[in-house]
């Protein structure tokens, strides 16, 4: 029996993808903040338990940067930023505007929040009166791919409010994960007359929460969160108002890129992570194959 088990191990390993072959996909997520009675709050969503990635986790609205986010016609309706300026802000050579557009699109799809204003107004669009129904329909249409963000803006004479979105954190999924993302965490004030809500499909719950309270609930095992989410909540928890958080994001410049490394035990189970700056970071080996087991 022992010999059969040992003989099967190399075969099982060879069937797993090589870690370096997993593509790293661009992604953007946005922390929507507002002032609550006890201080600043951030909006969070719980991903469906059946999700292929991050099932059951509490996250900020966001997702992959896709081809539509690079549409040339979008640059003309982005407030105060062209691609060169957005790329410089995000530490990219080019294509930076698409990351910000993706965050706006995903925020609308997942949370029903649209960071946009009417062309003849300075404040963000208010979801009240006759606009509520069309915006709800547009949210579904953009999610289903039957309408693009640029088409929605053209139909309602909207401009995307891109110039007030800050860049506060940059994480790349560790080598060894089966799905990897190069994710920029952005920060924006939530529009006053738009009430975010999970979509009931990809996301099954949502809440406004003080960062300190979210961290306490994570420590108590009530909220499941990945390390980047936890670290961004820790960063937010130092501020006494939404304005202070936004100013903090503006002042930080381009944040350090964080590429965690996965720690494993003798059996190959993942038991923790090391991040740049940790004493053992450089000594944690990069895996040859995608991890098959997690603890």
Question: Of 220, 195, 221, 222, nearest to 208 (Cα)?
Answer: 195
Looking at the fold, whether 186 and 46 belong to one and the same domain comes out as yes
Looking at the fold, whether 280 and 207 belong to one and the same domain comes out as no
Looking at the fold, whether 199 and 288 belong to one and the same domain comes out as no
Q: What is the pLDDT of residue 53?
A: 61
Whether 171 and 109 have beta carbons less than 8 Å apart is answered as no
Instruction: Report how far residue 96's alpha carbon sits from residue 105's, in angstroms, rounded to the nearest whole number.
Output: 15
Over the chain, what is the mean pLDDT? Answer: 89
Does residue 1 belong to any structural domain of this protein? Answer: no
pLDDT above 50: residue 174: yes
Q: What is the pLDDT of residue 202?
A: 81
Does residue 9 belong to any structural domain of this protein? Answer: no
Domain CATH code at residue 67: 3.90.79.10
Looking at the fold, whether 42 and 163 belong to one and the same domain comes out as yes
Looking at the fold, whether 164 and 269 belong to one and the same domain comes out as no
Q: Per residue in 176-213, pLDDT tens?
A: 988 999 999 999 999 998 989 888 788 889 999 999 99
Half-sphere exposure of 211 (CA within 13 A, CB side): 24
Q: What is the pLDDT of residue 49?
A: 72
Looking at the fold, whether 137 and 225 belong to one and the same domain comes out as yes
Does residue 2 belong to any structural domain of this protein? Answer: no
Whether 183 and 62 have beta carbons less than 8 Å apart is answered as yes
Pairing of strands 24-36, 180-189: parallel
Which residue range is the domain that position 165 belongs to? 17-254
| Number of domains the chain is built from | 2
Residues in CB range of 232: below 8 A, 6 or more apart: 31, 60, 168, 169, 185
Q: Per residue in 74-100, pLDDT tens?
A: 999 999 899 999 999 999 999 999 999
Looking at the fold, whether 109 and 197 belong to one and the same domain comes out as yes
Does residue 58 belong to any structural domain of this protein? Answer: yes
Residue 139 confidence class, pLDDT cut points 50, 70, 90:
very high
Q: What is the pLDDT of residue 238?
A: 96
Rounded to 10 degrees, what is the CA torsion of 47, 50, 52, 54? Answer: 30
pLDDT above 90: residue 15: no
Average pLDDT over residues 234-260: 95
Residue with tokens 């062309």: 119
Does residue 89 belong to any structural domain of this protein? Answer: yes
Q: What is the pLDDT of residue 71?
A: 84
Looking at the fold, whether 216 and 284 belong to one and the same domain comes out as no
Looking at the fold, whether 192 and 266 belong to one and the same domain comes out as no
Does residue 91 belong to any structural domain of this protein? Answer: yes
If one compares 193 and 7, the residue with the highest pLDDT of the two is: 193
Other Cβ atoms closer than 10 A to 257: 13
Other Cβ atoms closer than 10 A to 272: 14
Does residue 147 belong to any structural domain of this protein? Answer: yes
Say what percent of the chain tops pLDDT 90: 72
Q: What is the pLDDT of residue 8?
A: 44
Burial level of 244, CB count in 10 A (0-12/13-18/19+)? middle
Question: Of 158, 208, 174, nearest to 40 (Cα)?
Answer: 208
Average pLDDT over residues 200-227: 93
Residue with tokens 């790349």: 172
Q: What is the pLDDT of residue 113?
A: 96
Looking at the fold, whether 280 and 193 belong to one and the same domain comes out as no
Looking at the fold, whether 79 and 162 belong to one and the same domain comes out as yes
Looking at the fold, whether 65 and 94 belong to one and the same domain comes out as yes
Residue 44 pairs in a beta bridge with 207
Question: Of 10, 58, 79, 16, nearest to 228 (Cα)?
Answer: 58
pTM as predicted = 0.89
Compute the residue count for the chain.
295
Average pLDDT over residues 130-155: 93
**Which segments within the chain are labelled E, that is strand?**
24-36, 39-47, 58-59, 62-64, 116-118, 158-160, 166-172, 180-189, 203-209, 257-258, 261-264, 270-274
Q: Per residue in 44-81, pLDDT tens?
A: 999 887 665 666 899 999 999 998 899 888 999 999 89
């Amino acid at each position: 029996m022992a010999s059969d088990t040992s003989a099967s191990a190399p075969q099982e390993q060879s069937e797993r993808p090589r870690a370096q072959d997993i593509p790293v996909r661009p992604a953007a997520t946005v922390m929507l903040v507002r002032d609550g009675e006890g201080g600043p709050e951030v909006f969070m969503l719980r991903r469906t338990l059946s999700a292929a990635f991050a099932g059951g986790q509490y996250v900020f609205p966001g997702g992959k940067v896709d081809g539509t986010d690079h549409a040339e016609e979008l640059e003309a309706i982005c407030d105060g930023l062209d691609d060169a300026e957005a790329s410089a802000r995000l530490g990219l050579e080019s294509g930076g505007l698409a990351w910000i557009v993706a965050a706006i699109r995903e925020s609308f799809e997942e949370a029903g929040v649209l960071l946009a204003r009417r062309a003849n107004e300075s404040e963000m669009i208010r979801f009240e009166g006759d606009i509520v129904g069309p915006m709800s329909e547009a949210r579904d249409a953009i999610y289903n791919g039957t309408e693009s963000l640029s088409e929605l803006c053209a139909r309602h004479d909207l401009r995307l409010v891109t110039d007030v979105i800050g860049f506060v954190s940059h994480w790349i999924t560790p080598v060894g994960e089966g799905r990897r993302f190069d994710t920029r965490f952005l920060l924006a004030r939530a529009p006053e007359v738009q009430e975010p809500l999970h979509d009931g499909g990809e996301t099954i719950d949502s809440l406004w929460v003080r960062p300190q309270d979210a961290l306490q609930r994570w420590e108590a095992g009530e909220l499941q969160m990945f390390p980047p989410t936890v670290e961004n909540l820790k960063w937010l928890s130092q501020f006494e108002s939404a304005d202070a958080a936004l100013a903090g994001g503006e002042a930080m410049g381009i944040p350090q890129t964080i590429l965690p490394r996965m720690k494993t035990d003798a059996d190959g189970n993942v038991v923790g992570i090391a991040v740049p700056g940790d004493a053992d970071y450089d000594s944690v080996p990069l895996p040859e194959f995608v991890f098959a087991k997690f603890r």
